[in-house]
């Protein structure tokens, strides 16, 4: 009997070891540049790797806590920074892929892991002995001979411990853990519901007359979508933006425009199994309770303490500075669009679902320009190469496509990024087309961040995701001007990750304050439509003809068209975010009433709907932008001012480009953002450049 038990024990042990060997996360990735081996990673590998990663990190933390030596920067801060490599490895791959190609099994894992991971992180941040070691080093920091980056790491870790509850008593620590776990589950559920809402609506058209006004490419795309869904001989439109926006821009059928628009703005608010009102009300209330526990009046006070804005009142003051001129401009645009409606012999009042349609008509009337004139010159591959060329001319870097590197989806493309001298910088994935398994919008992620702790150079593996117009009717992907800007924007984030030159993972790449991180992406948008740059990439997809000067001139003249609308719908979302997160009482609010009061307070006009209504506001209830959605326009002040440094010299001035790379892109979060900015620009940014750019001055 003993022999049998021993045999079973050994067999179980060997089986466990075999499973570990089969799990690619448990060994170094045997791939070019150690990118994830996507062809070998299976869904069943994630959970064991998460659990093993947490267990290993716990052991690493215990070793630090039980170190009998006096706490030093090396044996405490650098030691903490070195923990959790397996957990970081599996987390990075899982969460990138859960955003870009999820499925039911992935979502199940996300829900299962969320509370466990939350508890694991709390156990580290609330570890009293670990905190005391960090505190001991922090209290003598002025006597230590630390580099700027080391000092920043020490200060950030110390503040993180305090901000995560290290100074709380045991009862409050227990409650904090409960709150964090609840929030972790609710935010995952919120995001899943939005994804399902994006995918479930379809507007099936079976009468050809209902396609009136739509460009042929849009009709062809809708026919292909119908065929994929087995609606032979029909046309399908969805609320994914590459499908919805052209419909809103061109469809002459006002009732159908209203139908698809209302489907979009009612996501998560249909009183069914995907309704998000209860989820977000709970998230907002729990965030207030957590902030109060930690000694802050509101969640916004808690978040902004680490941002450039510092305080909620600074954000509100900044938003109000721009809101008044933007709202005035939008009201003028309403008047123009209403006049166009009247000239056509209609007597209806302009509604939100009419805006895109009549704005497109007005743009054509005022500037002899519409989106379909531009699309043939915006072949996706050409635009991407245009962004690469800008980076090459600015920084000398090269993007070389690699066919021998694993990729996670057939839509993805893989590029090795090199310095001018051929030395390796990193790997860059692009994944630009929508699919049911991908969340909406566009974003940058890291499969692996750059670092060089203990002298070991870790090269970054970066991704750009988008939901751009797909190839249709035998034509290549021809994207809109807005999608062109989005591609350049996300590429800017990509460069921030790729060109990072930091020692510590905690500070590298895009690990900067939320209202600074968008500056590095938005500045790239400035190059997209510069005439010199357009002539580099905007070539007709059939003839190869460079975009004519006439079109460039029209594009330039129309650059401030509709900016009232664009600014107001975005800024309304900024106010909504701030209003949710300046609540000071941990009370679940009626979502519809709260949002209506928020929009009434700023005087949002009925012709414009806030860009993200609360039940599908992923940025703040499922992403990392709570109390930070204002960051895009805050950073636009920085990027508009920073781009002037190039305009004052030349578009590709090498000295300016090198300074921007060295002082902004390479430095990550190693110093205060304003210190970095002033080192590049020589002074703090001025808001005038933004007002001029948007025509708000």
The CATH number for 159's domain is 1.10.1370.40
Same domain, residue pair 140 and 223: no
Domain range holding 91? 2-167
- Residue ranges in 582-661 assigned as alpha helix (H): 591-602, 618-621, 631-647, 654-660
The reply to whether 218 falls in a domain is yes
pLDDT at 687: 87
From 265, 296, 317, give the residue that closes a domain: 265
Asked if 380 and 432 count as a contact pair (C-beta separation under 8 A), the reply is yes
pLDDT at 8: 37
From 167, 187, 210, give the residue that closes a domain: 167
Same domain, residue pair 233 and 126: no
pLDDT digits (tens, 9 = 90+) for 473-521: 899 999 999 999 999 999 999 999 999 999 999 999 999 999 999 999 9
The reply to whether 235 falls in a domain is yes
Same domain, residue pair 112 and 155: yes
Enter the tokens of residue 251.
């469809």
Q: How far apart are CA 292 and CA 313, in angstroms?
A: 18
SS3 content of the chain, % helix, strand, coil (to 5): 60, 5, 30
Same domain, residue pair 525 and 635: yes
Same domain, residue pair 100 and 216: no
Same domain, residue pair 123 and 247: no
pLDDT digits (tens, 9 = 90+) for 274-301: 999 999 999 999 999 999 999 999 999 9
Same domain, residue pair 140 and 205: no
Asked if 530 and 393 count as a contact pair (C-beta separation under 8 A), the reply is no
- The count of structural domains within the chain is 3
Q: Which residues are catalytic?
A: 490
The reply to whether 309 falls in a domain is no
Same domain, residue pair 44 and 161: yes
pLDDT at 160: 98
The reply to whether 364 falls in a domain is no
The reply to whether 594 falls in a domain is no
pLDDT at 7: 43
The reply to whether 39 falls in a domain is yes
pLDDT at 125: 98
Q: How far apart are CA 291 and CA 289, in angstroms?
A: 5
Spell 119-137 as b/e; 16+ CB within 10 A means b: ebbbebbbbeebbebbbeb
The reply to whether 584 falls in a domain is no
Residues lower than pLDDT 70 in the chain? 1-21
Same domain, residue pair 459 and 519: yes
The reply to whether 312 falls in a domain is no
Q: How far apart are CA 658 and CA 534, in angstroms?
A: 23
Same domain, residue pair 420 and 498: yes
pLDDT at 62: 98
Rounded to whole angstroms, the maximal C-alpha distance in the chain is: 95
Same domain, residue pair 472 and 429: yes
Same domain, residue pair 431 and 553: yes
């Amino acid at each position: 009997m003993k022999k049998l038990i021993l045999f079973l024990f050994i067999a179980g042990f060997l089986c466990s070891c075999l499973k570990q060997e089969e799990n690619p996360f448990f060994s170094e990735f045997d791939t070019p540049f150690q990118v994830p081996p996507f062809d070998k990673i299976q869904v069943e590998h994630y959970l064991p790797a998460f659990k093993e990663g947490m267990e290993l990190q716990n052991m690493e933390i215990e070793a630090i806590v039980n170190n009998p030596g006096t706490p030093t920067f090396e044996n405490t801060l650098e030691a903490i920074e070195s923990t959790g490599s397996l957990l970081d490895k599996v987390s990075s791959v899982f969460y990138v892929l859960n955003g870009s190609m999820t499925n039911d099994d992935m979502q199940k894992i996300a829900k299962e892991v969320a509370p466990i991971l939350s508890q694991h992180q709390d156990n580290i941040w609330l570890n009293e002995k670990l905190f005391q070691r960090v505190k001991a080093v922090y209290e003598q920091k002025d006597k230590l001979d630390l580099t700027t980056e080391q000092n920043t790491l020490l200060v950030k870790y110390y503040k993180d411990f305090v901000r995560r509850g290290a100074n709380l008593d045991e009862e409050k620590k227990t409650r904090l853990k409960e709150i964090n776990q609840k929030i972790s589950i609710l935010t995952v559920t919120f995001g899943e519901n939005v994804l399902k809402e994006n995918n479930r609506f379809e507007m099936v058209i079976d009468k050809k007359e209902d396609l009136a006004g739509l460009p042929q490419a849009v009709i062809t795309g809708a026919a292909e979508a119908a065929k994929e869904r087995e609606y032979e001989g029909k046309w399908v439109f969805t609320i994914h933006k590459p499908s919805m926006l052209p419909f809103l821009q061109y469809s002459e059928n006002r009732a159908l425009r209203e139908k698809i628009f209302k489907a979009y703005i009612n996501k998560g608010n249909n009183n069914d199994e995907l309704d998000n009102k209860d989820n977000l009300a709970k998230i907002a209330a729990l965030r207030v309770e957590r902030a109060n526990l930690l000694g802050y009046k509101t969640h916004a006070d808690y978040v902004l303490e680490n941002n450039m804005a510092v305080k909620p009142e600074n954000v509100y003051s900044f938003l109000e500075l721009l809101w008044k001129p933007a709202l005035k401009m939008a009201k003028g645009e309403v008047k123009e669009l209403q006049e166009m409606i009247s000239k056509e012999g209609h007597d209806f009042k302009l509604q939100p679902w009419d805006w895109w349609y009549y704005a497109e008509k007005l743009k054509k009337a005022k500037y002899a320009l519409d989106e379909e004139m531009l699309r043939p010159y915006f072949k996706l591959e050409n635009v991407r190469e245009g962004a690469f060329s800008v980076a090459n001319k600015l920084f000398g870097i090269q993007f070389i496509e690699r066919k021998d590197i694993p990729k996670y989806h057939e839509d993805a493309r893989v590029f090795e990024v090199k310095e001018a001298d051929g030395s390796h910088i990193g790997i860059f994935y692009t994944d630009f087309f929508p699919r049911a398994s991908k969340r909406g919008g566009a974003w940058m992620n890291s499969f692996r961040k750059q670092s060089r702790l203990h002298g070991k150079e870790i090269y970054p593996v970066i991704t750009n995701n988008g939901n751009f117009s797909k190839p249709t009717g035998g034509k290549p992907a021809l994207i809109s001007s807005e999608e062109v800007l989005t591609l350049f924007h996300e590429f800017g984030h990509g460069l921030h990750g790729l060109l990072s030159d930091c020692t510590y993972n905690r500070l590298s790449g895009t690990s900067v304050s939320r209202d600074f991180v968008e500056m590095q992406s938005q500045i790239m948008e400035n190059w997209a439509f510069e005439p010199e740059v357009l002539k580099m990439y905007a070539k007709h997809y059939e003839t190869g003809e460079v975009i004519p000067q006439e079109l460039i001139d029209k594009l330039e003249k129309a650059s401030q068209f509709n900016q009232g609308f664009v600014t107001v719908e975005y800024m309304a979302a900024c106010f909504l975010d701030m209003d949710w997160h300046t609540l000071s009482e941990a009370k679940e609010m009626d979502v519809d009433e709260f949002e209506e009061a928020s929009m009434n307070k700023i005087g949002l006009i009925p012709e414009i709907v806030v860009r993200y209504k609360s039940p599908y506001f992923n940025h703040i209830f499922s992403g990392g932008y709570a109390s930070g959605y204002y960051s895009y326009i805050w950073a636009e002040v920085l990027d508009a001012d920073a781009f002037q440094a190039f305009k004052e010299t030349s578009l590709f001035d090498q000295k300016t480009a090198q300074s921007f790379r060295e002082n902004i892109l390479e430095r990550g979060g190693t110093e205060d953002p304003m210190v970095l900015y002033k080192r590049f620009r020589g002074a703090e940014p001025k808001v005038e450049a933004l007002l001029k750019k948007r025509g708000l001055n």
